[in-house]
Structure 1
Amino acid sequence: MNTNRLLPRFASASVERALRVMPVTVLTGARQTGKSTLARMHPIGTDRSYFTLDDYGVLEQAQREPDALVARAVQITLDEVQRVPHVLLAIKRLVDEDRVAGRFLLTGSANLLLMKEVGETLAGRASYLTLWPMTRREQRGLASPGLWTELVDAPPTAWRDVLLAEPAEAEPWMALARRGGYPVPAHELIDDDDRRLWFEGYAATYLERDIPRLSAIEGITDLRRLMTAACLRVGGLLNQADLARDVHLAPSTVQRYLNLLEVSFQLVRLPSYSVNRTKRLVKSSKLYWGDTGLALHLAGEAHPRGAHLENIVLCDLLAWATTRVERTEILFWRTTKGAEVDFVIETGRRLLPVEVKAATSVHPSDVRHLHTFLDEYSDMAQRGIILYDGEETFWLTKRVLVAPWWRVI
């Protein structure tokens, strides 16, 4: 591990593209994913003036004289913008007076699209991107997510050849789960005890500084208890009533806390696939975490479970999907009779179902839910994939390819 080398990020090209087109580019993501570093890297940070609202002088100017702050340079990067949302009104006025591509690059540790005043202020003026924790390939210096684009674009008959043509290096997935994808524990720290210290410091800062900036929270210990309970449910259906009962909180409080965790990119609620998009909004979602290393720490789990391998794959999928120009959604599928597929990739009118198995072998019985899905949506999904912890890449049936997880991500 080379801790002195700055690793390139896959999202960099998407940020550059957005800056060429839109007057405002918004880069959000959980704290410590590397947003500030990416915003200051060449070529994104070249010829841009950088200001952070973590600096008291800049924060005071944003609060008192926002118009003066946003006019300090021709091209500005403003970091941690969620701290003073009304500064966006000044940005709106300036953009409306002179709409120039690349004028502002804003970063924040909260999903600004879910903050009403932000969405209304920047409507039609901004492009939004999310920087997720580092993918496995980014950690290896490859500046890319898994081979999802290659799989989506290739005819299914070529999937095996596509995967075998790419260099791939196996590693224990449990080690990847423990270190997660935040740059410091994933790239700079080697010792597990050092990572535990970092994760605990991260959790404390998040609870004591970040959350109070987003919303007035009285029960910080209640929120920490909820985070622990949620991390213990990674990969399961989210039942808010059961969760509220287990942590002894009112359902309304649990709903509010879950929303805060989602807005700040800690918790991931994975929607259920349905042809009817409205139904996706009301059907039960599955619960995952933005980083497996932090999830394991918060849950107090020393040994990753199969659900954590699912979580690793999901984080890779999210890092890939958020940078695509074509609308791409990541969902799961479940029927009332219990048939379930871990992930469904939807691009246009195409569906790619993906199952994840932590086992080192796969049996014919493991494909029955994939076959059920393929039968149900035969007009949009031709074949499916099972990712497992083995070494061989092969067609288990005519419609299901089995591949090692490390060959794809």
Structure 2
Amino acid sequence: MVPTPDLVPRRVAVQVDAALADTRVVLINGARQAGKSTLVRVVAGDRLAERRDLDRTQDRAAAIADPVGFVDSPELLVIDEIQRVPELLLAIKAAVDEDPRPGRYLLTGSSRLFGMVAAPDALPGRMETVELWPFSQGEIDTEPDGFIDAIFALGPDLRHESTVTRAGYAARIVRGGLPEATTRDDPRRRQRFFDAYVQALIDRDVRQLSDIQHKGELRKLVRLLAARSATIIAANSLESALGLSRPTVARYLQALEEIFLVKRIPGWSRNLGTRATAAAKLVFVDSGIAANELATDARALLRPGAPFGPLLESFVLSELSRQLTWSEQQADLSHYRDQSRYEVDAVLENRAGRVVGIEVKAATSVGLDDFRGLRRLADRLGDDFIAGIVLYTGTATLPFGDKLRAMPVSSLWQVPAPA
């Protein structure tokens, strides 16, 4: 039984609390219904605080009519969905410049605030942004979620055994991590939730960000992206399928990313003596949405020809993205592909230039060919290459050469960070 959303501790809560202690404005940014309001209640705790919600008509009207009066508060002021009235940022800037105490404002937003045309770039040096994703698997299962810190610390010495089956991974993919979806055991009820969720984003949030003239084509675009999850996406490859111009497709892709429906994983390169692709891969922020767009359930996902592999890769990339928001190791996530078609699904590079490469395989067994891209990366990087990991649906950690290991996918959330 999955705990109710109100009771699931969020790992980024510590970051938000620390930011309020030394920063004037803190913004929690993330997808709608990812748990921002619950996190705010937990973090605000016993603090004296006022709260306003710009999704409410009366609050929004007051904010537009009198921005300065709206943000005037002697205590912590919580403002939900700040992207609804981005002009408030100028009033907040004036307030925190006059009274620079930390912890003045706690904001939440459901779109990338400074990607919005209407948002003034008003708070440099005054605001810290914390990104909140849907639940990680570790948050749902009360597991440590420490893989990134562990692999950078231990490299190929990291070991993990797992009892999670392929069917278990399929069930996790279709469930996703949106709090409301995790409480719905009936697949049909979960489907209704996902359908309504995506439609609401298109009808309300995307319209706020972009001039959408073809809502039907935008809905079709979401389904096309789900079918191409974890692949390199270029706007020109979608033109003919949608019957839209390349600039329009590019604008729609940007809008979907800014509302946290999808995320681009950039191409990784270094001066390795060979050109690497700069094109980005695209994954869904929540794997449950992607699976629902493809009308697949956990049982269907295990059948031959089902998109288990791409959805598993997207699932892994989104779990890594979640974990990077709280890991001690500060690293960037990208993917690698060169002109010789050597590929690595995920590349984690820390600020010291040390690299961990990760491949994702839906099979329960792994062979030498599965390490082809990782060996290429290891040869090019030399001592900067910490480890190459193939995450697979088997149960054991297996050696495949110097610094190369196969590990169960569940190591992502079941492995603890080093003390």
Normalising TM by the smaller chain, what interval?
over 0.9
Contact 2:78 2:105 in 1 (8 A): yes
Deviation of 1:90 after TM superposition, in Å, equals: 0.5
Deviation of 1:86 after TM superposition, in Å, equals: 0.2
**Which amino acid letter does the alignment assign opposite residue 192 of structure 1?**
P
Separation in 1, partners of 2:251, 2:46:
36
For residues 125-179 of structure 1, give each alpha carbon's deviation from its aligned partner in whole angstroms, at most 9, with x where no partner exists: 111111111111111134x53421121123x25312xx46xxx652511101100
Separation in 2, partners of 1:112, 1:327:
23
Q: Which residue of 2 aligns with 1:376?
A: 380
Q: Which residue of 2 aligns with 1:175?
A: 171
* Aligned pair partner of 1:284 in 261, 279, 282: 279
Separation in 2, partners of 1:26, 1:314:
24
SS at 1:120 equivalent: coil
Counterparts in 2 of 1:48 and 1:141: CA distance versus 1, 3 Å = farther
**Which amino acid letter does the alignment assign opposite residue 152 of structure 2?**
V
TM-score w.r.t. structure 2 length? Answer: 0.90
Bigger drift between 123-132 and 145-154 goes to: 145-154
Identity percentage of aligned residues: 32
Separation in 1, partners of 2:216, 2:318:
27
Q: Which residue of 1 aligns with 2:225?
A: 230
Separation in 2, partners of 1:141, 1:68:
43
SS at 2:114 equivalent: helix
Q: Which residue of 1 aligns with 2:262?
A: 267
**Which amino acid letter does the alignment assign opposite residue 247 of structure 1?**
L
For residues 34-82 of structure 1, give each alpha carbon's deviation from its aligned partner in whole angstroms, at most 9, with x where no partner exists: 1111111155573222211112221111101111111134211110000
Counterparts in 2 of 1:44 and 1:327: CA distance versus 1, 3 Å = farther
Separation in 1, partners of 2:190, 2:133:
19
Query: C-alpha root-mean-square deviation of aligned residues, in Å?
Result: 2.2
Deviation of 1:226 after TM superposition, in Å, equals: 0.9
Q: Which residue of 1 aligns with 2:149?
A: 149
Mapping 1:86-105, distance limit 5 Å: 86-105=87-106
Counterparts in 2 of 1:370 and 1:14: CA distance versus 1, 3 Å = same
TM-score w.r.t. structure 1 length? Answer: 0.92
Separation in 2, partners of 1:215, 1:157:
46
SS at 2:344 equivalent: strand
**Which amino acid letter does the alignment assign opposite residue 159 of structure 1?**
L
Q: Which residue of 2 aligns with 1:78?
A: 79
Contact 2:116 2:209 in 1 (8 A): no
Unaligned runs of at least 5 residues, structure 1: none
For residues 185-233 of structure 1, give each alpha carbon's deviation from its aligned partner in whole angstroms, at most 9, with x where no partner exists: 12x1111111001001101211112222222312111110111111110
Indicate yes or no: 2:338 matched with 1:335. Answer: yes
SS at 1:254 equivalent: helix
SS at 1:26 equivalent: strand
SS at 1:93 equivalent: helix
Deviation of 1:280 after TM superposition, in Å, equals: 11
Deviation of 1:301 after TM superposition, in Å, equals: 3.7
Contact 2:156 2:386 in 1 (8 A): no
Counterparts in 2 of 1:246 and 1:257: CA distance versus 1, 3 Å = same
Contact 1:70 1:76 in 2 (8 A): yes
**Which amino acid letter does the alignment assign opposite residue 394 of structure 1?**
L
Separation in 2, partners of 1:379, 1:203:
45
Deviation of 1:93 after TM superposition, in Å, equals: 0.2
Deviation of 1:283 after TM superposition, in Å, equals: 1.7
Unaligned runs of at least 5 residues, structure 2: 302-306, 414-419
Separation in 2, partners of 1:201, 1:246:
24
Separation in 2, partners of 1:282, 1:360:
30
**Residue correspondences, number:** 400
Separation in 2, partners of 1:181, 1:28:
16
Deviation of 1:408 after TM superposition, in Å, equals: 2.6
Contact 2:283 2:318 in 1 (8 A): no
Deviation of 1:259 after TM superposition, in Å, equals: 0.5
SS at 1:77 equivalent: strand
